[in-house]
Amino acid sequence: MGSLVEEIEGEREYDVEETIFVAVGKNVEKSKTTLFWAVQNFPGKRICVLHVQRPTHVLALTQGKLARNKLKQHAVEAFQKLERPKMHERLEEYMLILDHAGVQADTVWIEMDSVEKGIVEIIVRHSVRWLVMGAAADKYYSKKLLQPKSKKAIFVCQMAPVSCHIWFACKGYLIFTRIGGKDRSNIEIATLSPPLDSPVRTVQLEFLSSESVHRVRSLDVEEDTDVIKGKLRPVSWCSEHLNLSSSEVVDTYGSIPLQRDEEEEYQGQASNVTDQLLELSIMDDHNLKQNMFAETVKQWKEENDAMEAKCKAKALECLCVKEMSRRKEMEELLEREKQEVQKMKDQHDELMKELQVVKDQTKVLESQIADSQCTVEELDEKFFSAVELLISFKKKRDDMQIEHGNAIRVLKDLRKLVHGENASFPGTQILEFSFMEINNATRNFDPSWKIGEGKYGSVYKGLLRHVHVAIKMLPSYGCQSLLEFENEVEILSRVRHPNLIMIIGTCPESRSLVFEYLRNGSLEDRLACKNNTPPLPWQTRTRIASEICSALIFLHSNKPCIPHGNLKPSKVLLDANFVSKLSDSGIYRLIPQGERTDISASSCTKANPEVASVYMDPEYLENGKVTRESDVYSLGMLLLRLLTGRPALGLLKDVKCAIETENFNMVLDWSAGDWPLAEAQLLAHLALRCCEKLPLNRLDLVSEIWSVLGPMSESCINSASCLGAKERCRIPSHFVCPIFQEVMEDPLIAADGFTYEADAIRGWLESGHDRSPMTNLKLEHCSLVPNYALHQAIQEWQQQW
């Protein structure tokens, strides 16, 4: 669209160096404020009121866009009639005000469809050097503005020739300055400052004294730096919005923001002054008008000062209130802290009291503990004395039982005398035990106390009247009466020899026999090294052979003759010194005739019949008759076992073969040590001759066997005694049970670390003791652990004898 420019006043020449152009718009109030700002800040300068009229209605009519719209056409015509004369009136009004203020004034007015382009057009056409224009449209109209905020202002700021220096004002304040560029060197800004004696000098702009920073209004109130910072306009904004280089942009501080009511008051003042100035413009007298104008300006300034002071006071008041509330807060905080400290102090006192109470209680408890320890000690003493008392009572009871047994025996003898029977042999006394005693001795026939099972019944280990015993439970009486049984036992008990096991007593009630207990078990077990016992040395074996031979001679020489009838290694028992004793001699006499064969047969077939019969005389196996020769046969087999250590089955044949092939040393048991081969062979020949099938061909026990075995054993004993005589005298103290004071057979370690004989420590614990017999300290537990190492050491030591 082409621009229609109409110069209302016609072309005119202006002194651009001396003239300040002020752009005014349709809003008369805003325009007057801009005008007054220019008058006040540039006293003595010529003012040219610049106005651009938008000819919208003219354009509209020319183009005929609104021709069809009758109503609009009427409105346009009305506007034409009303607006143009109105603009004339306004310009005249401005001129009148300026005239009354004594300011020389002109107007320049063009019509153009774009006001901002029109302003730039005028600047260009008249080479305008100094221009003042409003910074904001109506909606942004505020003195707090920090930058031009109207489309026109921004356009002019960007498009006006650089030679033009432009001040953008708003509501009587300078908002922004665009400094003229090209000919700035020639411009003396100072010359634009109003003279010192000018009536408006007091409100002259401070920005003229600084090129970079301009202040419109300053308050003496110390302001927060934050507030001031908030008023800084960044250079970047100017570069962005005004299309200027940063060097061309001048930063400006805004004014301190006023409260809303203050602002309104200030606006009111401004409009009052404007009204007063308007009133003045109507007056005729020029001097009077000038004076009154100056007076009015002065009054405005004073009011302005008062307002500033008020603001300052308000700011101080505000600070004071803030300070007061802060102080109050601090006081409250202090009070709270004090209360907290007091509370903690109270708690501390409370805790100290509790601590004292606990200390007192601790003392009381400590004394109680000391008392109870004394009580415990006293009770311990009482307990031990009670145990001692109990032991003595037990002893008394045992003695009384023995006395009771003796009394019964005497009674029996007396009865026998009364019945005219033969008196017992003098010197034989066997004890009679009750079933209860047998039961207690075997711990109710505890299976762990069972040490063997033979054809004549089970054998239990037992502790009877503090003596270790072996209890043999015989089968039922069958047809045998109690009296018969007792008689037989008595006869057997009369047969005594160092190598025959001794009958201690009997329990007719349970038909059991009580023997002395031999701790090293049977020869069978020792030859088989049962429980890892060491092999018997050849000297011991030779001695055992002679001992058994001696026992057999004794039995056979008895009147009537008592053949053993069941000689084999399991019947040869070894005491603590490995002295052998023959057991079960004549026991068959206690078994009724009918049952004897049954038992024998069943036992032989049930157990290992071949092994059981291998020691037996083939003759006896045929006719079931026990003879002296039967025992010789069995002795021969026993000798072979001692020499070879081999199982009995097939042994006779093997040894015969070895001797015939001169390989005897191949069958000899070298684990027994360095046998003297000649003597061993002699014994082997002896054994084979004992095992002759025909009884008559077998050797005579005394003249042929004992005559060899006796001296041989003698020399062995001598050599062994020479070696170990000294050692034998001294029993290592750690082999002795601290309770029984005997060499231990079954050493067990207790919780106190000491080793005791199993029966001794078990008896101690079972009688209710929970303290060590050695240290008297409380035992942590009652478990007992076998001391295998000591057990083996004891056995090895015993075998050296």
Interaction pattern, residues 442-461, with ligand ATP; x per rule: CB under 6 A: ---------xx-xxx--x--
Among 573, 590, 643, 748, binds ligand ATP (CB under 6 A): 573
The C-alpha atoms of residue 108 and residue 458 are separated, in whole angstroms, by 153
The C-alpha atoms of residue 196 and residue 212 are separated, in whole angstroms, by 23
Closest CB to ligand ATP among 145 and 582? 582
Closest CB to ligand ATP among 249 and 573? 573
Considering the rule CB under 6 A, would residue 571 count as an interface residue with ligand ATP? Answer: yes
Closest CB to ligand ATP among 28 and 502? 502
Helical spans, DSSP H, in 42-180? 56-63, 70-100, 115-126, 151-159
| Window of 146-154, 425-433, 518-526, 731-739 that interacts with ligand ATP by CB under 6 A | 518-526
Closest CB to ligand ATP among 21 and 515? 515
Considering the rule CB under 6 A, would residue 518 count as an interface residue with ligand ATP? Answer: yes
Interaction pattern, residues 399-438, with ligand ATP; x per rule: CB under 6 A: ----------------------------------------
Residue 372 CB, nearest approach to ligand ATP (Å): 50
The C-alpha atoms of residue 443 and residue 421 are separated, in whole angstroms, by 38
Closest CB to ligand ATP among 470 and 655? 470
For 122, residues 6+ apart whose C-beta sits below 8 A from its C-beta are 21, 50, 52, 108, 110, 128
Instruction: Please answer whether residues 510 and 458 qualify as being in contact, where contact means their C-beta atoms are separated by less than 8 angstroms.
Output: no
Residue 784 CB, nearest approach to ligand ATP (Å): 22
Interaction pattern, residues 178-217, with ligand ATP; x per rule: CB under 6 A: ----------------------------------------
Cβ burial of 528 (10 Å; 0-12, 13-18, 19+) is middle
Q: Transcribe 62-74 into DSSP letters.
A: HHTTTTT-HHHHH
CB count within 10 Å of CB 394 equals: 13
Instruction: Please answer whether residues 146 and 219 qualify as being in contact, where contact means their C-beta atoms are separated by less than 8 angstroms.
Output: no
Closest CB to ligand ATP among 16 and 573? 573
Residue 384 CB, nearest approach to ligand ATP (Å): 35
The C-alpha atoms of residue 520 and residue 334 are separated, in whole angstroms, by 95
What are the phi and psi torsion angles at 468 (to 5°)?
-75, 130
The C-alpha atoms of residue 259 and residue 265 are separated, in whole angstroms, by 10
Considering the rule CB under 6 A, would residue 517 count as an interface residue with ligand ATP? Answer: yes
Q: How many residues does the chain have?
A: 801
Instruction: Please answer whether residues 613 and 561 qualify as being in contact, where contact means their C-beta atoms are separated by less than 8 angstroms.
Output: no
Amino acid at 296: T
Residue 725 CB, nearest approach to ligand ATP (Å): 27
Among 44, 102, 181, 521, binds ligand ATP (CB under 6 A): 521
Considering the rule CB under 6 A, would residue 629 count as an interface residue with ligand ATP? Answer: no
Q: Transcribe 239-287 into DSSP letters.
A: HHHH---GGGB--BPPPPPPPHHHHHHHHHHHHHHHHHHHHHHH---HH
**Residue entry with tokens 């000798």:** 639
> Which SS3 state, helix, strand or coil, does residue 500 take?
strand
| Window of 563-571, 686-694, 724-732, 747-755 that interacts with ligand ATP by CB under 6 A | 563-571
Considering the rule CB under 6 A, would residue 620 count as an interface residue with ligand ATP? Answer: no
Tokens representing 584 are: 């079960």
Among 566, 580, 644, 795, binds ligand ATP (CB under 6 A): 566
Considering the rule CB under 6 A, would residue 584 count as an interface residue with ligand ATP? Answer: yes
Closest CB to ligand ATP among 478 and 609? 609
Closest CB to ligand ATP among 204 and 522? 522
Considering the rule CB under 6 A, would residue 745 count as an interface residue with ligand ATP? Answer: no
Q: Which residues of 651-671 are buried (b: 16+ CB within 10 A; e: fewer)?
A: bbebbeebeeeeebeebbbee
CA quadruple 440, 446, 449, 454: dihedral, nearest 10: 110
Least Cα distance to 427 among 486, 496, 513, 487 occurs for 496
Among 583, 585, 713, 772, binds ligand ATP (CB under 6 A): 583
Tokens representing 714 are: 């003698």
Interaction pattern, residues 760-779, with ligand ATP; x per rule: CB under 6 A: --------------------
Closest CB to ligand ATP among 293 and 615? 615
Q: Transcribe 431-473 into DSSP letters.
A: EE--HHHHHHHTTTT-GGGEEEEETTEEEEEEEETTEEEEEEE
Residue 747 CB, nearest approach to ligand ATP (Å): 18
Q: Which element (helix H / strand E) includes 513?
A: strand 512-516
Considering the rule CB under 6 A, would residue 470 count as an interface residue with ligand ATP? Answer: yes
| Window of 343-351, 566-574, 756-764, 788-796 that interacts with ligand ATP by CB under 6 A | 566-574
Closest CB to ligand ATP among 123 and 501? 501
Binding residues for ligand ATP, rule CB under 6 A, total: 20
530 appears as a binding residue in the annotation? no
Residue 440 CB, nearest approach to ligand ATP (Å): 19
Considering the rule CB under 6 A, would residue 591 count as an interface residue with ligand ATP? Answer: no
Residue 285 vs residues 278, 288, 291, 293: alpha-carbon distances, Å: 14, 5, 10, 12
Closest CB to ligand ATP among 600 and 713? 600
Residue 727 vs residues 75, 576, 720, 797: alpha-carbon distances, Å: 154, 15, 11, 9
Closest CB to ligand ATP among 58 and 758? 758
Considering the rule CB under 6 A, would residue 515 count as an interface residue with ligand ATP? Answer: yes
Residue 365 CB, nearest approach to ligand ATP (Å): 58
Considering the rule CB under 6 A, would residue 281 count as an interface residue with ligand ATP? Answer: no
Residue 517 CB, nearest approach to ligand ATP (Å): 5
Among 512, 522, 630, 755, binds ligand ATP (CB under 6 A): 522
Considering the rule CB under 6 A, would residue 698 count as an interface residue with ligand ATP? Answer: no
Considering the rule CB under 6 A, would residue 130 count as an interface residue with ligand ATP? Answer: no
Residue 144 vs residues 140, 256, 304, 394, 457: alpha-carbon distances, Å: 9, 8, 16, 122, 130
The C-alpha atoms of residue 27 and residue 249 are separated, in whole angstroms, by 29
Residue 759 CB, nearest approach to ligand ATP (Å): 14
Instruction: Please answer whether residues 113 and 59 qualify as being in contact, where contact means their C-beta atoms are separated by less than 8 angstroms.
Output: yes
Q: Percentages helix, strand, coil for the chain, rounded to the nearest 5?
A: 55, 10, 30
Closest CB to ligand ATP among 181 and 454? 454
Instruction: Please answer whether residues 743 and 760 qualify as being in contact, where contact means their C-beta atoms are separated by less than 8 angstroms.
Output: no
Among 431, 501, 545, 632, binds ligand ATP (CB under 6 A): 501
| Window of 338-346, 568-576, 688-696, 700-708 that interacts with ligand ATP by CB under 6 A | 568-576
Q: Which residues are near ligand ATP by CB under 6 A?
A: 451-452, 454-456, 459, 470, 501, 515, 517-518, 521-522, 566, 570-571, 573, 583-584, 603
Residue stretches of the annotated binding site:
472
Residue stretches of the annotated binding site for ATP:
472
